[in-house]
Structure 1
Amino acid sequence: MTATRPHVTVVGDVGLDVLAVLGGPVAVGQDTRARITSVPGGAGGNTAAWLADHDLDVSLIARVGDDEAGRTATTELSAMGVDCRFARDPELPTCCVVVIVTPDGDRTMFADRGANSAFCVDDVDLPVLAAPGHLHVSGYVLLDDGSRAAGLAALDRARAAGWTTSVDPQASVHIADLGGAVFLDWIRGVDLLLPNDSELAALGGADAALAAVGTVVVTHGRDGASWLSPDERISVAAPRSHDSDSTGAGDAFNAGLLSTRLRGGSARESLTAGVAAGTAAAQHVGARPRRP
C-alpha cells in the first residue's frame, strides 16, 4: 500500500440500467405506478466512477456493443476521468439491466450482460505503470462461462506485475449454483475479498474465505461492515438513513474502502470510509456519483 496517488484498474461490466422506482407494492398481473429512468450502470463502470470521484487514477477494462449505449458509456466515464479500455463487440449489444426499486430502497435486477458475456483474454489490456497498481475484479466477470477466462487472466497478470488485488463476488445466487469452494479456488491469493453477508454465506463462511484470500471485508447492508483478517476483526456501524435506491451502494463502498486503504489508511479508517460512501450512494436514485 502507498500514501501517494494510487492507480486502480477495474475489470467489470459496463452497461445501462433501466430503473423502475415503485410507488407501492407490486400488483401482480395488474398495473403498478412507477417512476422510470435510464441511467449508466454495470458493476465495473459504477466502481470506476466512484473511484474517480475519490480522486484516484482509474482505468476500466470492459467490452461494450458497437452501439449508442456503448458510445455513451465511454463518453460519460471518460468525462469523469476514467481511462476507458473498451473492446467493441460487432454483434452483441451493450449490457442492459432492469432494476426494480421498492419503496424501502431494496432492488431486484434482471440482467442481460450482452457484450460483457463475450469479454475475452485478448480484451485484457492492463496499463503500464511506473509503480505497481491495484486490480479490482467484478465477480460477474468470473461467474459467466464466457468471460471467466479473461477475469482470471487479469488477476494472473496483475499478480505477476506485483499489483495488489481485490474481488467483489457480486451474486450469491450464482455462487451457490456454482459452489463456493470452486469460486474461492479461482481467486486464491487475492488480497481483498469484498462480499456481502449472503455472498459470504454462499462461499462457505469467513473461515473458508480466509483460507483462500488475505482479508475479507463483508458488508451488512444497513448494519455497516466488518473487516476480517488473521490479525484484525473490526466492525463499523452505518448511520441511520432511509435508502432511496441501494443500486450501486456496494460499488461505492468498494471505492471508498479502496481509496482510503491504498493511500495508507488503517483497516478501521478504510472500513469507515467504505461505509460512509455506500450509505451516501444509497441516498439518491442511480448507481453512479451525482454530477453537476
Structure 2
Amino acid sequence: MKFYVIGDVTVDHLYHLKRLPRPGEEVAPIRASMKPGGAGGTISVTLARLGHTVTLAACVGDDPFAEYALSRVRESGVSEVAIQRSAEHLTSTITVMQTGDGQRTMISDGAANRQLDPAKLKKKDIEGADALVINAYSLIEGPQREYTLAAIGYARNAKKPVPVFIDLGTGAVNKVGTGLRDEALGSDYLMLNQHELQALTGTSSISAALGQLGEAGAQRVIVKVGKMGSIIWTPTETELVDAVPPEGAVVDSTGAGDTFTAAFAHAVLSGSGMAQAARAANMAGALSATSFGAQERPITAADLADVLPKSKKEKA
C-alpha cells in the first residue's frame, strides 16, 4: 500500500526524572537521551517498517539537526521526495520531561515544520496514494496548514477518493481547541485521546463528546484511553477495545500515540475491521513504549501476527 504522510519531524531531547522540577529548581535526570522524533516521522517510519511504500511531507532546517531528525526515516526507506528545507528556520526540537508515574511536560518548537510550502505539493502524489495520514500539528498555522488543507482537498476530490486519517495531538488541540473541529470532521478516521476529545468538543465526558461529533457528521472516531486501551465509535457502534500488555517494561511513552495511529491505518488498509485494527494499534503503541525514543522499537508485521489475520496472498 502507498501512504502519504504529512507531519512534523523533530529532534527529541528526553529527560526521565524522579519528579518534575519546580520553577527555578535544577534537577538531575535519571536518564537523558537525544532521539529522532516528531509525529510525521514516527508514523512514516512505522508504516515503512510494516512493509508499506511511504512518502513523508515535512520541512527541516538547513542545519546539522536535520540529518539526525531524518535518520530513522532514511534507514526505514521512507521516500524523501516531499521533504523540504528552510534556510531561515531551524529544524524543530522538542524537550520532553517525564516521570516514572506518567507525568510529562514538553517544550516544543514548530520552527521549520510550519514552513512546508504548499506550492510544492503535487496533486498526483495525493491521488496516487492509498491513504493520506495527517497529524493535527500540521493544521495549526502557517504554510504547513495550507499544504495540509490542499492535500485533504485533493484526497477528497480524487477520481477514486483517498481515505484520510487524522490524528490529533495535545499540543495542537491546546493551541487551537475547538477550531480544529471542522478539519477533524473532514477525516474518514479521526484518532485522539480523551483530553483531546473533550478539548475539541468543549465537553466533560467521552459519551457527550462522541455524541456531539456524531451530530456534527463524524463517521469513525478512535479514542485512545491509555491503560484501558481504545474506544471505537461509529454512528451505529461503540466498543471498548482492551489494551494489550507488552512483553517488557514500559519505559518511555514518547511517540506511542503516533505508533498507534500508524498501526491502525496499516490494519484498516490491510482489510481489518475497526475493532481488530484498534487491538493491533493498542499492541503497537504499547510495544513502542518498551524502548527509549519514539522510533527505537521497530513494529513489524510479525509483532501484530497474533492480532491481525493473514492476507489471502499470505495464506496461499
TM-score (norm 1): 0.89
For the pair 1:118 / 2:98, whether they are aligned, the reply is: no
Question: How many Å apart are 1:40 and its aligned residue?
Answer: 0.2
Q: How does 1:43-122 map to 2 (within 5 A)?
A: 43-84=39-80, 85-122=82-119
Question: How many Å apart are 1:221 and its aligned residue?
Answer: 1.2
Distance in 1 of aligned mates of 2:124 and 2:12: 28
Amino acid at match of 2:256: A
> Would the alpha carbon gap of residues 20 and 132 (structure 1) be closer, same or farther in structure 2, given more than 3 Å must change?
closer
Q: Which residue of 2 aligns with 1:222?
A: 227
Distance in 1 of aligned mates of 2:48 and 2:150: 24
For the pair 1:153 / 2:150, whether they are aligned, the reply is: yes
Question: Using CA pairs below 8 Å that are at least 6 residues apart, which structure has the higher relative contact order?
Answer: 1
Task: Tell me if the contact between 2:165 and 2:265 (Cα under 8 Å) persists in the aligned partners.
Answer: no
The number of aligned residues is 284
Distance in 1 of aligned mates of 2:172 and 2:72: 30
Question: How many Å apart are 1:68 and its aligned residue?
Answer: 1.4
Question: How many Å apart are 1:222 and its aligned residue?
Answer: 1.4
Q: Which residue of 1 aligns with 2:290?
A: 283
Q: Which residue of 2 aligns with 1:3?
A: none
Q: Deviations over 1:169-218 (max 9, x none)?
A: 112x65355341x3122343310000100111112111232324320001
Amino acid at match of 1:70: A
Question: How many Å apart are 1:107 and its aligned residue?
Answer: 2.5
Q: How does 1:103-252 map to 2 (within 5 A)?
A: 103-125=100-122, 128=125, 132-161=129-158, 162-171=161-170, 174-175=172-173, 178-180=176-178, 182-204=179-201, 205-210=209-214, 211-240=216-245, 243-252=250-259
Q: Which residue of 1 aligns with 2:6?
A: 11
Task: Tell me if the contact between 2:194 and 2:225 (Cα under 8 Å) persists in the aligned partners.
Answer: yes
RMSD: 2.1
Task: Tell me if the contact between 1:19 and 1:99 (Cα under 8 Å) persists in the aligned partners.
Answer: yes
Distance in 2 of aligned mates of 1:151 and 1:130: 14
Distance in 2 of aligned mates of 1:264 and 1:92: 41
Task: Tell me if the contact between 1:19 and 1:36 (Cα under 8 Å) persists in the aligned partners.
Answer: yes
Stretches (4+) displaced over 6 A: none
Question: How many Å apart are 1:269 and its aligned residue?
Answer: 1.1
Amino acid at match of 2:238: R
TM-score (norm 2): 0.83
Question: How many Å apart are 1:26 and its aligned residue?
Answer: 3.0
- List alignment gaps of at least 5 residues for structure 1: 1-5
Task: Tell me if the contact between 1:10 and 1:48 (Cα under 8 Å) persists in the aligned partners.
Answer: yes
- List alignment gaps of at least 5 residues for structure 2: 202-208, 299-316
Q: Deviations over 1:95-128 (max 9, x none)?
A: 0000112122443211011101222312434664
Amino acid at match of 2:136: G
